[in-house]
Structure 1
Amino acid sequence: MKSFLITGVALLAVSGAARAQGPVSGSVSSFLPLNAEATSLPGATVYLDGVAIGQTDDFGQFTVPALSVGDHQLRITSIGHKPLKAKITGQATPQTVHFVLEGETVLTGEALVTASRANERTATAYTNLSKEDLEKRNFGQDIPYLLDQTPSVVVNSDAGNGVGYTGIRVRGTGIEGINVTVNGVPLNDAESHGAFFVNLPDLASSTSSLQVQRGVGTSQNGSAAFGASLNLSTLESRQQAYAESQNTYGSFNTWKNNVQFGTGLLNGRFTVDGRLSRISSDGYMVRGASDLKSYYLAAGYQQKNTLLKFITFSGREKTYQAWNGVPEPALTRNAAGLQQYVDNYELSPEDAARALREGRRYAYYTYDNQTDNYQQNHYQLHLTQGLGTDWNVAAAAHLTRGFGYYESLRLDRKLADYNLPDVVLGTAPNTTTIKRTDLVDRKWLDNYFFGGIFALNYQPAESRVQATLGGGWNRFLNDHYGEVIWARYASTGNIRHRSYFNDATKTDYNAYARAIWQALEKLSVYADVQVRRIDYRLAGIEDKQVPVSAKAEYTFFNPKAGLTWQLPLGQTLYASYAVAHREPVRSDFTDRPLNDAGPKAEQLHDVEGGYRLNRTVNSQVLRAEVNGFYMRYRNQLVNTGQLNDVGTPLRTNAPRSYRAGVELTGAYQPLTWLSLSSTLTLSRNRILDYRAVTYDKDYNPLTAAEGRTTTISYSPSVVSAHTVEVMPVKGLRAALLYKTVSRQYLDNTESASKAIAAYQVLDLRLRYTVQPSFMRELELGLLVNNLLNREYVANGYTYGYPDAAGQPLTFNYYYPQATRNFLASVGVKF
């Protein structure tokens, strides 16, 4: 593999060298209406032909090395300024250019988003992705797959091809520990803490910027960040009218079609933007299909000091249930191994025979409507108001309406488990009592999430201090209930017989204060304090007529602090310390073993420190970062490796655990047509004094092993991502993307027999862009996933219990990812 990559880069270097011309040296200044003259603008992002080539240094300077022959487009962006586009032409001699970015005459709406985002002075680890970065990655796969090349990220897909239900882990922490916001509004489900991007298909096409924070990061609205934060913004206002469409077709009958439009700025005051999308796929797994639809609509009004914007977006998904995974013997077509599953009633003989035929693409369910059906509607009203020259306030009211069900065929189920009496056939004394039946049920969720958030920002043009006071109040109402829509023996039940019902209420409010103080010319001090209060109530009857009840109240105090030291030549040192707390999720209360004391809230102390380099040396752009982290947990809720009946991982408190490691990130652009980037995470993820518990088939605890130090489940010690991108001819960008993930354990016993094997995946991405006379842009794209056709799995689960002789039995299930497959796209912009 290494020789293949090196050879490819060498050949491209030779072919492009003859076209190289002189470099371009540039500087960027900022002109704000309140200032008498322009000042240098550090940190502005510079794009060449749509590709980010770096940022301006402390003096607002940048270099474009070795421009190729012909005209090129330069684009420069910076928050609070109007984007600038300019044409430059490759010449044989060096050039010097200067640009001035004008400050926005109206507020941009980013005040609420930037209030929770990290920057160069918050002493945290983060990655920014611009709209251009997202566009070149977006072929219709879910948002986690667009983040696959960012540090410490591991992704997976139930259906195997990145469409439908997908998962993401950052530093080994799953989505329930990742805080996700859209325009500052919490997206995580208040009960499960999950963020289900399948409910919002193609949201990436409406996202103008995205930031991934690793570790605790800055204070956020919503659930706590225990591994990372994902902050999406859709608030960008485009000044010119536009119409666009992206269309993709690929393997497994995968389709993506969308239409986007915008009016631009009307009468200097109004904007309207919209999108309609459809994504469908049969999936790599047999019966792993998805049918996803969504819309996005935003209407804005703005004047010099005021911005009012209403945003609504919605998604509706129908996915065939692929969350059961594939039994391990089916991956290798091991008939003897599958027989063990049959002997212990984990599979029927018919299912085992089908698993042998379908192999790694096997899907457990065969009922034609074994589907998950859910719709989620979001409504946001944003107001940003300038308060003089130094202050602004941003606030948002929001409502999320979610409803849907998953339908299942259940065989030989007890009538009593569905709140139905036994059926008596015949007349006395010749009667037959029927206690079990085949049936079709639906498990429903019906919820509302609403509230408000705000941020008051002090951002003077000339001051050593910048500060934010923010917070929010959010309330979640959720009904859980089941319906029987068909039964072979219905007893006294009617159609849509309600078999169980319980409701949940959660109130979450928080307040935070944050400040950055420029203590010295090169030293800045960051401080952030958050208080969060949660009230959670759950009551009613759960599936199988089990009473459920929970009443939990938490008050969390989360301080954070950091130092940043600016060194010469684009170098920065930083260090931070942060505390975070997180409440248990619903399944931690409802899926506990009998006689369990109940879940405890988690606590995290996060120490981070690192070095950043962002500079241009001899016309070559170089960026690098080394970030070290030590995350010490109390009562961390770690996955046991098991799932409940709707695919949610079961968890248990580990009294003491930690994650420690280093993240290495580098990007090097020696020529305008060649860029290299790599990220490598080396980590140690341990539970101290872990006592593995043995369970029976009903998940009742039997015995606990002696305590020992062990590896946390689903936490690889090595994760890397590498990209080589070239532009051999104008408009054509070709990239090789290489991903490696080391072994992961399915539970916390550190057993090699219950693990996900290490894997390496190579993808190829091509995009060719032209500007014909009859449209603004035409782009053709091709993404070949898993170019080397590897057979690998990226997720799984395990459980076990003693057999009749007391010997342990283990049952592993995996989620295979697709072998070589492609997605081809056509995009048009007017």
Structure 2
Amino acid sequence: MIKNLIATGAFFVLMGTALAQHSLTVEVVSNENDEVLSGASVQLTGTLSTVHTDQSGLAVFRNVAPGTYEVQVSFVGFHTQAREITVNDDEQTRFSMRRSNVLTDEVIVQATRASEQTATTYKNISKEDIAKNNIGQDLPFLLNQTPSVVVSSDAGAGVGYTGMSIRGSDATRVNVTINGIPLNDSESMAVVWVNMADFASSVDNIQIQRGVGTSTNGAGAFGGSINIQTTTLNEDPYAELDNSFGSYNTLKNTVRLGTGLINNKFSFDGRLSRVKSDGYIDRASSDLKSFFLSGAWHGERSLLRANVFSGKERTYQAWNGVPEALLATDRTYNEFTYEGQTDNYTQTHYQLHYSNALADNLTLNTALHYTRGAGYYEEYREDDEFKSYGLEDVTIGGETITATDLVRRRWLDNHFYGLTYSLNYQTGVNLNLTLGGAYNEYRGKHFGEVIWAQYASNSALGDRYYEDDAVKKDFNIFGKAEYRIDQLNLFADFQYRRVAYTFLGFDRNLIQLDQTDYLNFFNPKVGVSYQFDNNSNVYASLAIGNKEPIRKDYTESSTNSRPRPERLKNVEAGYRITGRNFNLGANGYAMLYRDQLIVTGQINDVGSAIRQNVPDSYRLGLELDGQWQPVRPLTWSVTAAVSRNKIRNFTEYVDLYDYQSQQEIFYKSTNIAMSPSFVGSSELAYQPFTNAEIALISKYVSRQYLDNTSTVERSLDAFFVNNVRLAYNMKFKGIKNVGLTLLINNIFNEKYEANGYTWGYINEAGAREHFNYYFPQATANFLLGLNLKF
């Protein structure tokens, strides 16, 4: 398969070259003093070509077919310009750029972003790319066509509890920031996207870095990092309505408003959203509400922006999955039937950003942030023992009752706040220095309440049967340097991170929790890239990342059995090339783990089966990401990732039937759980006429094992899913755009599962029994959206 893919890619490149005839040279200078602008982005619209100007301020498009093109030039701190150029022979044109009278929002995320010269692998996703599919599903599903990404949904339809992995690394190993501010939960280290309903409607752009990537704020990136920038300055006032509906009573309503630039100084933007769905799985409903508000003061050399955004969710629980025995007969089965079996949470974020261009080559960025989260999940429990809640047994008519049916709520009440900063210094095109860092503090309360019981014991309404206070302090500082010598670019990045984690109280199993851990991490990264010309470069990098255990690793262990932090050496090497009608990136990687934390089944000294360190494991892979436009109406985007994900020596601990002892089973070179060896995607888009598009969107994911034993009986089958997107945009008097989008998901009605888990034991006869649970994804379904822009 891989040989065929490489051969096909080579054929596309040769075809693109054969079709081309002329060259177009674009010179970009400042209109103030004719100073050349190196690094300006020059795009040939209608093609796949985007080229950055070299040290002479030149961008050269080779092999350009005769015709008329729109050339668009953008550069940070200058107004974007566009003009039509007719190419009949070798052509040259000059853009004299006018400096913007306001500081642009791009500086806010500058410190944590990779550039074309950075020796790492990344994918940029524009606002336009996001909007194409943003008609109801959560943000992970909008990133599904990026390399090495696998997404899943508990409810099956992409709304509610959704998740994603990158290179087989789950959400706890993917670092997510919003405007440079950490989003990952400080204790679980995951991102709960259900708290971010319709957040994509307030996103301007996203950069996904795979592997360790460059230094950023928050938890260590082991699989990748997702760097999100929210709404930036729109100089003109606007109003926008988005409404969509679809299968499973899915409904999305969004209102967006913006004032544009007022008096050349102020701007205000807002969004209000509602998303509802019954879900593909029985009773797996979602009721999500959110808003986004942003106000900014724009100066010529400074920018002050305040963001407030919030999400409130109520979802019916579907997180136990479907037992394997029911998968063939009842794929939408949900074991929960209690009406109040819901998850309820509200999370509000406050951000204050200040940027100042202290000099032409020196920019300061600072930010203060505060996140307030509170909520609970409610459960109906049958025949729970009173002692599990610290309650006394009940005596009725001489009979002692030791257990009762009850309803409980488990609460999380937390505060997360801190500051981030960066100072960027750039001299011409040869040297770029960045000093950045952050201090963040998390304070969380975990507690539980019994709100109803069939038999009342010695508790009162509002009593807490467990309570645990946690404090986590996270400090980091990093420095980055890029130095260019002719076509050679050298990169170095050094980060120091200190974590202090303390929790006091009792956990939900009424076990005393009093632990403190202090961790110090040094994360160096070095790389080199070589620019052959404006259109192609090669790069290689070596990075080291360290990451602390998650909350459960601490709370279900003593200080004697506490797992050690994980350590990763990450080698990346790749080649990028852009032509008139194609672009292609090829990247190879090696991710070498020491003490990776995985589930082994082993019971520790407090009787809990938690993740344990394995000394030696790795991920090796090759990723391809390309686009080809053989003719203007037709574009093919494709990604492919082939990988080998192994634990060199693995010992599994399986409970015996009496649950008093365990049997050890040894495996040599076994596969890491939930790590597919091949992930591929394709989007074939055709424009039959102006403002209309038909796209076939495909995704293939190979077999994934539910545990670390490489056993087919405990695995997810490979799946190949195809969607169709139909879009048409038009204008009417007084309306800037009327857009209709129809998204038909899983058009071939593929029955597949994207996530799952397993458990088991060895019975009295010595045979192994296992119990697999799966999360089926929706069969054929649709979403229809209407967009109105004023």
The residue that corresponds to 1:351 in the other structure is none
Give the one of 392, 408, 426 matched to 1:421.
Answer: 392
Counterpart CA distance in 2 for 1:463 and 1:664 is 29
The residue that corresponds to 1:731 in the other structure is 691
Counterpart CA distance in 2 for 1:47 and 1:369 is 55
Listed as ranges, the matches of 1:352-501 within 5 Å are: 359-426=330-397, 431-460=398-427, 462-501=428-467
The residue that corresponds to 2:523 in the other structure is 558
User: Is the contact made by 1:711 and 1:750 (CA closer than 8 Å) also made in structure 2?
Assistant: yes
Segments of structure 1 that go 5 or more residues without pairing to the other structure are 1-20, 334-358, 643-647
Listed as ranges, the matches of 1:629-668 within 5 Å are: 629-639=589-599, 651-668=611-628
User: Is the contact made by 1:782 and 1:822 (CA closer than 8 Å) also made in structure 2?
Assistant: yes
The residue that corresponds to 2:315 in the other structure is 319
Counterpart CA distance in 2 for 1:169 and 1:290 is 22
The residue that corresponds to 1:231 in the other structure is 227
Question: Is 1:541 the counterpart of 2:538 in the alignment?
Answer: no
Deviations 1:317-336 (A, max 9, x none): 11110100000111123xxx
SS at match of 2:554: helix
Question: Is 1:522 the counterpart of 2:487 in the alignment?
Answer: yes
Counterpart CA distance in 2 for 1:410 and 1:659 is 41
User: Is the contact made by 1:481 and 1:498 (CA closer than 8 Å) also made in structure 2?
Assistant: yes
Counterpart CA distance in 2 for 1:286 and 1:256 is 20
**Structure 1 residues 232, 28: CA separation in 2 closer, same or farther (over 3 Å shift)?**
farther
Give the one of 618, 622, 645 matched to 2:582.
Answer: 622
The residue that corresponds to 2:43 in the other structure is 46
Counterpart CA distance in 2 for 1:253 and 1:66 is 48
The residue that corresponds to 2:13 in the other structure is none
Deviations 1:110-160 (A, max 9, x none): 223111111112200000001111111211211111111110111100000
Counterpart CA distance in 2 for 1:64 and 1:52 is 13
The residue that corresponds to 2:127 in the other structure is 131
Counterpart CA distance in 1 for 2:436 and 2:651 is 42
Counterpart CA distance in 2 for 1:671 and 1:694 is 58
Between 1:239-248 and 1:57-66, the stretch displaced more is: 57-66
Cα deviation, residue 701, structure 1: 6.1
Listed as ranges, the matches of 1:76-115 within 5 Å are: 76-84=73-81, 88=84, 99-115=95-111
Q: What amino acid is aligned across from residue 404 of structure 1 in structure 2?
A: G
Give the one of 745, 750, 755 matched to 2:705.
Answer: 745
**Structure 1 residues 715, 80: CA separation in 2 closer, same or farther (over 3 Å shift)?**
farther
Counterpart CA distance in 2 for 1:68 and 1:246 is 36
SS at match of 1:132: helix
User: Is the contact made by 1:734 and 1:765 (CA closer than 8 Å) also made in structure 2?
Assistant: yes
**Structure 1 residues 407, 697: CA separation in 2 closer, same or farther (over 3 Å shift)?**
farther
Deviations 1:379-419 (A, max 9, x none): 00000011122111000000000000000101100111112
Segments of structure 2 that go 5 or more residues without pairing to the other structure are 1-18, 603-607
Cα deviation, residue 671, structure 1: 2.2
The residue that corresponds to 1:37 in the other structure is 34
User: Is the contact made by 2:42 and 2:59 (CA closer than 8 Å) also made in structure 1?
Assistant: no
Q: What amino acid is aligned across from residue 160 of structure 2 in structure 1?
A: G
SS at match of 1:364: coil
Between 1:241-250 and 1:805-814, the stretch displaced more is: 805-814
The residue that corresponds to 2:8 in the other structure is none
Cα deviation, residue 588, structure 1: 1.4
Deviations 1:461-481 (A, max 9, x none): x25211000000000000000
The residue that corresponds to 2:172 in the other structure is 176
Cα deviation, residue 703, structure 1: 2.5
The residue that corresponds to 2:3 in the other structure is none
The residue that corresponds to 1:305 in the other structure is 301
Listed as ranges, the matches of 1:526-605 within 5 Å are: 526-568=491-533, 570-591=535-556, 597-605=561-569
**Structure 1 residues 81, 639: CA separation in 2 closer, same or farther (over 3 Å shift)?**
farther
Counterpart CA distance in 2 for 1:713 and 1:22 is 46
**Structure 1 residues 432, 501: CA separation in 2 closer, same or farther (over 3 Å shift)?**
same
Cα deviation, residue 623, structure 1: 0.7
Listed as ranges, the matches of 1:754-765 within 5 Å are: 754-765=714-725
Counterpart CA distance in 2 for 1:162 and 1:66 is 42
User: Is the contact made by 2:253 and 2:274 (CA closer than 8 Å) also made in structure 1?
Assistant: yes
The residue that corresponds to 2:780 in the other structure is 820
**Structure 1 residues 42, 391: CA separation in 2 closer, same or farther (over 3 Å shift)?**
closer
Cα deviation, residue 302, structure 1: 1.4
Cα deviation, residue 705, structure 1: 1.8
User: Is the contact made by 1:675 and 1:725 (CA closer than 8 Å) also made in structure 2?
Assistant: yes
Q: What amino acid is aligned across from residue 732 of structure 1 in structure 2?
A: A
Counterpart CA distance in 2 for 1:153 and 1:704 is 33
User: Is the contact made by 2:28 and 2:40 (CA closer than 8 Å) also made in structure 1?
Assistant: no
Cα deviation, residue 25, structure 1: 7.2
SS at match of 2:712: coil
Counterpart CA distance in 2 for 1:89 and 1:32 is 20
User: Is the contact made by 2:163 and 2:193 (CA closer than 8 Å) also made in structure 1?
Assistant: no
Listed as ranges, the matches of 1:190-201 within 5 Å are: 190-201=186-197
**Structure 1 residues 700, 509: CA separation in 2 closer, same or farther (over 3 Å shift)?**
farther
Counterpart CA distance in 2 for 1:633 and 1:115 is 27
**Structure 1 residues 641, 202: CA separation in 2 closer, same or farther (over 3 Å shift)?**
farther
The residue that corresponds to 1:720 in the other structure is 680
Counterpart CA distance in 1 for 2:86 and 2:197 is 41
**Structure 1 residues 93, 377: CA separation in 2 closer, same or farther (over 3 Å shift)?**
same
Give the CA RMSD over aligned residues.
2.6
Counterpart CA distance in 1 for 2:38 and 2:196 is 36
Counterpart CA distance in 2 for 1:496 and 1:371 is 19
Cα deviation, residue 31, structure 1: 4.4
Question: Is 1:60 the counterpart of 2:42 in the alignment?
Answer: no
- When normalised by structure 2's length, the TM-score is 0.92
User: Is the contact made by 2:587 and 2:624 (CA closer than 8 Å) also made in structure 1?
Assistant: yes
> Percentage identity across aligned positions?
42
Deviations 1:352-384 (A, max 9, x none): xxxxxxx01001100011000001000000000
Counterpart CA distance in 2 for 1:65 and 1:650 is 59
**Structure 1 residues 121, 73: CA separation in 2 closer, same or farther (over 3 Å shift)?**
closer
**Structure 1 residues 312, 532: CA separation in 2 closer, same or farther (over 3 Å shift)?**
same
**Structure 1 residues 575, 386: CA separation in 2 closer, same or farther (over 3 Å shift)?**
same
Counterpart CA distance in 2 for 1:512 and 1:420 is 51
Cα deviation, residue 652, structure 1: 2.7
Question: Is 1:512 the counterpart of 2:472 in the alignment?
Answer: no
**Structure 1 residues 798, 706: CA separation in 2 closer, same or farther (over 3 Å shift)?**
same
SS at match of 1:652: strand
Question: Is 1:202 the counterpart of 2:198 in the alignment?
Answer: yes
The residue that corresponds to 1:165 in the other structure is 161
Give the one of 640, 657, 669 matched to 2:629.
Answer: 669
The residue that corresponds to 1:258 in the other structure is 254
Counterpart CA distance in 2 for 1:131 and 1:391 is 28
User: Is the contact made by 1:300 and 1:310 (CA closer than 8 Å) also made in structure 2?
Assistant: yes
The residue that corresponds to 2:7 in the other structure is none
Q: What amino acid is aligned across from residue 751 of structure 1 in structure 2?
A: T
Give the one of 556, 565, 574 matched to 1:610.
Answer: 574
Cα deviation, residue 30, structure 1: 4.0
SS at match of 2:552: helix
Counterpart CA distance in 2 for 1:416 and 1:374 is 28
Deviations 1:565-610 (A, max 9, x none): 0113622110000000000000112245x99722110000001111
SS at match of 1:771: strand
